[in-house]
Amino acid sequence: MNKDYEKIAYEIIKLRLSQIIINEEYKLGKFKVPIHLALGHESIAVAINNIMQKNDKLILSHRNMEYNLARLGALKPILDEYLLKSTGLMQGKFGSMNLINPNCGVVYTSSILGNNFSVGAGIAMAQKISQNEGLTIILGGDGAIEEGSFHEVLLMLKSLELSAFVIIENNNFSLGTKINERRCPINLEKFSESYAIKFMRLSNNDPIEYIKKLNELREYSIKNKTPVCIEVMVTTFGDWVMNTSEQPNGKIITYHSGPTPSISLDNNILLKDTLEDPIFVLRKYVDKKTLKEMSKTIEVKLLNELK
């Protein structure tokens, strides 16, 4: 088996299991801070982690767990941070929605929608002045692009000739509404084109393909001193049914924050038998038996880490 594929599969499974373990703790009511799980976002997080180089900087939003876990490669310091312990990744001073890890390049994280775009632009400017050839990677969601700062920052990044990725994780949800329930569609490709910014859409959760494409775009962005806009199609797993008088049959909501009752460590880590689930996609590269064994090994390791 290709060792690179195995390594990537290991990282994705570890990320999935780490989140499921956090969810178990969450269900027990152990956290005072609001936490946003990102089950289903594993492929892009692992891909970003793998393309990041020494001087690259990552600027995240409130749903940052997947990137922080991927960058750190360990669960306990993050879990302790969520528990506001002094043994936490940032000594319990940042909690979840603002969790940073400067040693691993996670330099800023914002719980305010669209706030991190411009901070990212400033960091990209600092990279340019420092001449360190680093890439600034700014994450947002399909809700954040409704903020004016998204437009302002694409304009600034392009005008100031800054190397950056603006990555939009499109999970078709913002709080409790789907895109079509709150706004007209936004064609990010055309939007980017209007600023002469290169655009790419990533879908189907193939981590190997994501890494290849992101590496190419990284080189392009640095060489041409220009931002790149990337839309990543993701499914956030763990929905729940909301019953209201307007919708007596219930409305399926992709949860925003809080534990997801429908996902458990006792069940299979595969959440959907389609390309929407990064675990399912791994079968393209690693056989089922190996994935199962890998999953068991990682689960034992993670649980031991927490003892």
Partner 1 sequence: MKYIEYINKLIQEEVLKQKNLIVYGQNIAAGSCLGGLTKNLQVKENGKIINSTNSENSLCGFGFGMMIGGIPSIFFMKQLDFLLLGIDHLTNTYNIIRNSEYATKSSFTIMPITVDKGYEGPQSSLNNFGDFCSISRTTGYTITNKMDAEKIIQNKLVSPGFRIITVSQRLFKEELIEPDNLLYTNNDLTVFQYDDGEMVTIVCFNFSFPQGYGLSKDLKKNKIHSSLFNVNSPVETNWSKIIESVLKTKKLIVIDDSKSKNLACDSLISKITNQCKLNKIIILKREISAEWLNPNSDEMIIDYKKIISQLS
* Chain contacts with partner 1 (rule: CB under 8 A): 57, 90, 93-94, 98, 100, 102, 107-112, 115-127, 129-130, 148-149, 152-153, 155-156, 159-160
Given the complex with partner 1, which of 155 and 179 has the nearer CB atom? 155
Rounded to a whole number of angstroms, the minimum distance from the CB of residue 143 to partner 1 is: 16
Given the complex with partner 1, which of 92 and 258 has the nearer CB atom? 92
Rounded to a whole number of angstroms, the minimum distance from the CB of residue 105 to partner 1 is: 12
For residues 223 and 209, give the distance between their C-alpha atoms in angstroms, rounded to a whole number.
Answer: 21
Given the complex with partner 1, which of 105 and 259 has the nearer CB atom? 105
Q: State the first-to-last Cα distance of the chain, in angstroms, to the nearest integer.
A: 32
Rounded to a whole number of angstroms, the minimum distance from the CB of residue 211 to partner 1 is: 26
One DSSP character per residue, 81-96 reads HHTT-TTSTTTTSSTT
Residue bearing tokens 């002094």: 86
As a whole number of Å, the CA-based R_g of the chain is: 19
Contact 161, 222 (CB under 8 A): no
One DSSP character per residue, 89-127 reads TTTTSSTTTT--BGGGTEEEE-SSTTHHHHHHHHHHHHH
DSSP summary character for residue 285:
T
Rounded to a whole number of angstroms, the minimum distance from the CB of residue 156 to partner 1 is: 6
Given the complex with partner 1, which of 48 and 123 has the nearer CB atom? 123
Rounded to a whole number of angstroms, the minimum distance from the CB of residue 89 to partner 1 is: 12
Given the complex with partner 1, which of 105 and 207 has the nearer CB atom? 105
